[in-house]
Structure 1
Amino acid sequence: MTAALHATTPKSDDKTDARVVRRRLGPGRRIRFAFWIGPLLALAVWSVGSATGVIKPAILSAPWDVAVAFEDQWSNHDLPGNILSSLERAVIGLTLGVVTGAVLAVISGLSRAGESVIDGPIQIKRSVPTLAIIPLFIAWFGIGQEMKIVTIALISLVPIYIHTHNGLRGIDGKYAELAETIGISRGDFIRHVVLPGALPGFLLGMRFAVTSALLGLVVVEQYNAVAGIGHMITLAEQYGQTDVIVVGLVIYGVFGYCADSAVRLTARKVLAWRQTLEG
């Protein structure tokens, strides 16, 4: 009983501290759709700059010109097919990277033997940019779809592993003491304490993994792609179509922003029990 009471006391203090911090920072009321304010403000600045001539068309096409180019690509070219092709590469590669990174993190985080085998190679890979390994991947897998998916998977694996592993290793030792006191088995302790405790780290890693996957997508689609947003940008570069290039960049940006927003919203729902500055 004493141990349980002692374990729950910091939680109450954390809640009080979080409320105090939020009150000192400002009103705690959340703004609806706040994540769209920044992008809309950037669009407004872009529009005003283009309309007033501050942003020259040679430097950056105006938003209305980009909208016309988007409509032309959608109606007269295969923009929907290019979008689906890019999404397919990104989703398959990201899924493989997330699953592999999470499994490796769990093995390494819950086992000293697993950590000794897995953690070293991952840390070495962390210091070697994945994009620098692309020539080797081309030699192994060719320049087809396999190389592109493997690159995206590997570039998104590392952040998932790092943050999930840190989350597993960062579980408060007081929970282990409490589990021993009340006689929870190791399996139940892992399922009900360790894995939920590592979930914030996993979701943080997901945000970095999504960004990394899109970075890898941008690069690999420059290699002999016959479909995809990168293929469209490459063709537009050859013909000097800056408005089409901006269309591709905007689509990449929308991909990334929507994916990151989805992860953030998921984290907010899943981790509703945690008192943070966001809450």
Structure 2
Amino acid sequence: MATMELVTDTAPAPDRNSAAKATLDRALVDLSPDGHGRGVEIRRRIRFWSGWTLRIGVPVFLVVFWQLALNWKWTSEDTLPSPKTILEAYKYLWNNGSLQDAIPVSLRRAGTGLLIGGFAGLLLGIFAGLWKIGEEIFDATLQMLRTVPFIALVPLFVTWFGIDESSKLALITAAALFPLYLNTFQAVKNTDQKLIEAGRTFGLSGFQIARRIIFPTALPGILTGLRFACSFSLLSLVLAEQVNSTAGIGFLIINAQNNQRPDIVIAGIWIYAVLGILIDLLMRGVERLALPWRARVGIG
């Protein structure tokens, strides 16, 4: 009579448990605050402070090099005033009230032009991006006009609007309109069609799809366009205030040029640069608040 043998695993139970525990130990990562978490926090702080050190250190180095170039007679005080002379120029402008009068005027011009041009560019970009008829009416014309440089528009705007505030606001408005329109239009048009189809599948109407899918998806592009619009409005302000200005930072620069005061000219240029930095910081803050979900991408 044939016999049957039952084949069983003869490995001892303790050996199997030890192997499983070793595999599990290799798979686990220590995420406790006293383990790798502390190292990550230290590295994050080092990157933060090193970044701010570089941001502040590079401009300081340039100012120091500027002063050294004057001390080493690489250039003259008449051609490039020293940083100390520039600070004295700020003190002079502050004491006679010119600085307090000029900055609000320039900010009002840039802000008004940005508000009008940015709002128009946003509306046109949404209209052209959502509706085919809007794209056919506006896109070709605006794509053509955006290639015209600002300086070429100055004589035309002076002819149309005169030499008063109207021509300056028109130039800043045009400068702010085009970048916001282009970025808004492209952001709306580049919305993933699969998301739109999914919205339709769930029964969303056209307005609901635009509000819940298209606009949130296009928001990063719109904010990028707003940042460009702020920068272009400041650049156009520099140009606009060179045309028959009686107030503003540009007026200070032109008046200083006529009076052979290069220190005040450079002081005015520094004001434009500081305004540009403040605008960039403001837009970074707006983007962080509006887009908290966006990942911070970097390779180092």
- Same-fold call, TM > 0.5? yes
Residue in structure 1 matched with residue 16 of structure 2 by the alignment? none
The runs of 5 or more residues in structure 1 that have no matched partner are 1-22
Residue in structure 1 matched with residue 291 of structure 2 by the alignment? 271
Following superposition, the deviation at residue 33 of structure 1 comes to 9.8
Offset from partner CA, 1:220-275 (integer Å, 9 cap, x none): 11111000000000011111111101110000011111011111121122111122
Following superposition, the deviation at residue 32 of structure 1 comes to 5.9
Residue in structure 2 matched with residue 122 of structure 1 by the alignment? 142
Offset from partner CA, 1:173-196 (integer Å, 9 cap, x none): 110121122111211110111111
Contact 1:47 1:62 in 2 (8 A): no
Residue in structure 1 matched with residue 21 of structure 2 by the alignment? none
| Secondary structure, aligned partner of 1:166 | helix
Question: What count of residue pairs does the alignment treat as equivalent?
Answer: 255
Contact 1:50 1:56 in 2 (8 A): no
Identity percentage of aligned residues? 32
The equivalences for 1:29-48 within 5 A come to 31=48, 34=51, 37-38=54-55, 40-48=57-65
Following superposition, the deviation at residue 203 of structure 1 comes to 0.9
Residue in structure 2 matched with residue 95 of structure 1 by the alignment? 115
The runs of 5 or more residues in structure 2 that have no matched partner are 1-39
Residue in structure 1 matched with residue 178 of structure 2 by the alignment? 158
Q: Distance in 2 between matches of 1:171 and 1:56?
A: 56
Among 229, 239, 258, the residue aligned to 1:219: 239
Residue in structure 2 matched with residue 4 of structure 1 by the alignment? none
Residue in structure 1 matched with residue 258 of structure 2 by the alignment? 238
Normalization by structure 2: what TM-score? 0.79
Q: Distance in 1 between matches of 2:286 and 2:50?
A: 15
| Secondary structure, aligned partner of 2:142 | helix
1:170 and 2:184 aligned: no
Following superposition, the deviation at residue 278 of structure 1 comes to 6.2
1:75 and 2:95 aligned: yes
| Secondary structure, aligned partner of 2:146 | helix
Following superposition, the deviation at residue 55 of structure 1 comes to 5.3
Among 156, 159, 163, the residue aligned to 1:143: 163
Distance 1:33 1:77, change over 3 A: farther
Q: Residue type of the partner of 1:50?
A: Q
Contact 1:148 1:220 in 2 (8 A): yes
Residue in structure 1 matched with residue 227 of structure 2 by the alignment? 207
Among 76, 86, 89, the residue aligned to 1:66: 86
Following superposition, the deviation at residue 95 of structure 1 comes to 0.8
Larger Rg: 2
Distance 1:240 1:259, change over 3 A: same
1:183 and 2:209 aligned: no
Offset from partner CA, 1:39-91 (integer Å, 9 cap, x none): 55223322243145555423422222111100100112421111111111000
Q: Residue type of the partner of 2:62?
A: V
Normalization by structure 1: what TM-score? 0.85
Q: Distance in 2 between matches of 1:214 and 1:156?
A: 9
Residue in structure 1 matched with residue 18 of structure 2 by the alignment? none
Residue in structure 2 matched with residue 133 of structure 1 by the alignment? 153
1:106 and 2:106 aligned: no
Q: Which has the higher helix share?
A: 1
Q: Distance in 2 between matches of 1:36 and 1:117?
A: 50
- Which structure ranks higher in relative contact order (CA pairs < 8 Å, sequence separation ≥ 6)? 1
Residue in structure 1 matched with residue 8 of structure 2 by the alignment? none
Q: Distance in 2 between matches of 1:235 and 1:191?
A: 50
